[in-house]
Structure 1
Amino acid sequence: DEWIMPFDVIEIIEIPELGSCAAKTACEQLGVKDQYDSANLKQAKQMCYLRGFYEGVMLVEEYKGMPVQEAKEIVKAKMVKEGDAFIYSEPEDLILSRSGSRCVVASVNQWYLDYGAEDWKNRCLEHMGVSHTVCMCC
């Protein structure tokens, strides 16, 4: 709770019967117990995405009152144009080829961190400081 409780939800879309905090409402309606309740979480996500797209109305700035169906492409184009987003697609489930082989999706033109580079590692450790680190392995 301490990781999420200090943050307020930013209300962006109003969905009939789910309100402006649709994920919270859907999780309550479906009785989601925790982050491991994958079946109910998947159902809540589908409910919010489907109803949000077809029934949702925008609540923010210049898009206020606009149906989500209309606003989606406009907002996406604006964010990409201004450099605040880029187009990225990723499958949600396992993808199999026609031959039955498992498909791997990879982002092209990406770079990797060399975790063994001492200069990089030392600069990161200095930046983070000991007081900002949390061991999640225990």
Structure 2
Amino acid sequence: MVKKQPDRAVLITDAARSPDEQFRWRQIRYVTMMSIRAACLIVGAILLSVRPPLLGLWLVLCAAGMVFLPWAAVLIANDRPPKSKAERAADALAREPKPQTSLPQHSAEATEYLTIDLEPTDTGNWTPAEQRDREKS
């Protein structure tokens, strides 16, 4: 009689995102950050025309956003999510050196060698040299 294993629930919340979903999420973050950069440019132009108090400070903040955000957007867009414990464990196992197996060692005297000696015949077939020598004698 075969014992049936109880059905176990699979938690899909622990499943990793698919590569397509990860790529799409990185695209959204990149476009959002670059949109903020464009907004910094527009706000800087508006500030120049309005000339509010502390204009220099506002322009420095807008310039910093226009310089820093593209760099950060590229880094974040090319980043992948952190590896799970299972992925790190699998990588660690893959890096462990595998034991090297060697062939059994035999002495030269214990090794038998097979020599194949064939000669062509008039019909185009090949015959062993021993048979050829028997046919000649």
Instruction: Establish whether TM, by shorter chain, passes 0.5.
Output: no
For the aligned pair, the TM-score class normalised by the smaller chain equals under 0.3
- From the two aligned structures, give the one with the greater helix fraction: 2
Normalised by the size of structure 1, how large is the TM-score? 0.20
Greater relative contact order: 1 or 2 (C-alpha under 8 angstroms, separation 6 or more)?
Answer: 2
TM normalised by structure 2 equals 0.20
